[in-house]
Amino acid sequence: MNAPDISVVICVYTEDRWEDILAAVASVRAQSRPAREILLVVDHNQTLLDRLSKEYEEHGKYKEHGKYKEYGEYGEYEEHEGRERTGEVRVLANAGPRGLSAGRNTGIAACRGDVIAFLDDDAVAERDWLRHFAEGYADPRVMAVGGRTMPIWASGRRPVWFPAEFDWVVGCTYKGLPPGRVRVRNVLGGNASFRRTAFDAAGGFATGIGRDGDRRPLGCEETELCIRLTRARPDAVLLIDDRAVIHHRVPKAREHFAYFRTRTYAEGLSKALVARSVGAGKGLESERRYTTRVLPAGVARGLRDALFARPGGAGRAAAIVAGVVTAAGGYALGSVRARRGGTTFAALPIERNSRTGGTDAIERTEGAEP
């Protein structure tokens, strides 16, 4: 089976992440397996849209005497001898309502690849990221492949109280996921890929759930999509390959317990929406194993470390308990709201424009012709 063409979508919303955005794009252009294209989808920010359009129209290539400059893993310039950068960069405006889900849907509709990969705007991919994704699609039953996301802590190291079992709080792979290339219920949205036909079968990401810029940090849009996909295609296989690695920045504000508490509460709210949509059986299938096996083991490790006077042991155990309690509180409130009809979301089909292969969104391109 021929290796699929892969389009990469990066959703962006703020100029505060300018250097991170450039680093994310550079990491995709430096892949050992080139992307067909890179789509930057700007979430209702005209200034950022104009600035990115100018960047990739006028300053996308830095060739000096056979050398190529590109942004390195942590935002600094790195110079490479004779290495071509690949991947057309297209800058689009989010054609739907404000938020991450609609931005992704805009990218999906505009992509030309057989497979669509998603990368967070504050993350950089390792060089073989797309190669490992592509390998997973050798099996025609595979509809999605996710990867491993590693934190880059702004303070330089993990806070001693922060349990690895809760790394999903900062958008990273958490302790408890099985290693290797394994079958899963859902992939994690900031480091994931899907066949285009997955969206033909199940529709796009649901709007009304998930992130909306810097507002309350909701999530679970990829969970809901993956469950909907396996219902539409019962033979579908979803994988995580921990060799497909990205490195995700964690700002200082997210290293504090206040954010931890807010994010776990928001996750409970989101899980209630998913359970209401797809049923508690599927909606909470993985969470039951997580709360009955992974978290108790984490509490035990924390208490053992405290017993031996190791730094942070008691704090990690307490944080796990607090995380469960706040998530449960969010779930309870979210369930009440969902039953009363106070919170809704919708998943719509992805429609492609016959002229561009994408949507009618504002589009500006740099690089090769389609």
SS (H, E, C) 7-42: EEEEEECCHHHHHHHHHHHHHHHCCCCCCCEEEEEE
In the predicted structure, residue 80 carries a pLDDT above the cut 50: no
Inform me whether the pLDDT recorded for 1 exceeds 70.
no
Query: Comparing 227 with 75, which gets the higher pLDDT?
Result: 227
> Treating both helix axes as pointing N-terminal to C-terminal, what angle do 221-232 and 257-278 enclose, rounded to 10 degrees?
20
pLDDT at 18 over 90: yes
Lowest mean pLDDT among 41-45, 115-119, 326-330, 348-352: 348-352
Flag whether pLDDT at 326 surpasses 60.
yes
- H runs (alpha helix) in 69-158: 100-110, 129-136
Residue 132: its pLDDT value, please? 98
Residue type, 173: T
Percent of the chain scoring above 70 in pLDDT = 80
Strands 237-250 and 142-153: parallel
Q: Report the mean per-residue pLDDT for the chain.
A: 85
pTM to 2 decimal places: 0.85
Alpha-carbon span 137 to 370, nearest angstrom: 23
Arithmetic mean of pLDDT, 265-287? 77
Residue with more model confidence, 340 or 297: 297
**φ and ψ at 79, to 5 degrees?**
-110, 135
- The pLDDT score that the predictor gives to residue 287 is 80
Residue 359 has pLDDT above 50, yes or no: no
Tell me what pLDDT residue 50 has.
97
Q: Which two tokens stand for residue 171?
A: 């958008």
pLDDT of residue 343: 55
Q: Which two tokens stand for residue 271?
A: 């899980």
Distance CA 281, CA 290 (A): 14
Q: How confident is the model at residue 351 (pLDDT cuts 50, 70, 90)?
A: confident
Condensed to tens digits (0 to 9), the pLDDT of residues 164-207 reads 999 999 999 999 998 999 999 999 889 999 999 999 999 999 88
pLDDT of residue 62: 39
Is residue 279 left, alpha or beta, with left meaning phi > 0 and alpha meaning psi from -120 to 50? left
Per-residue pLDDT at 100 exceeds 60: yes
* Residues 119-168 pLDDT 10s: 999 999 999 999 999 999 999 999 999 999 999 999 999 999 999 999 99
For the segment 103-107, the average pLDDT, to the nearest whole number, is 96
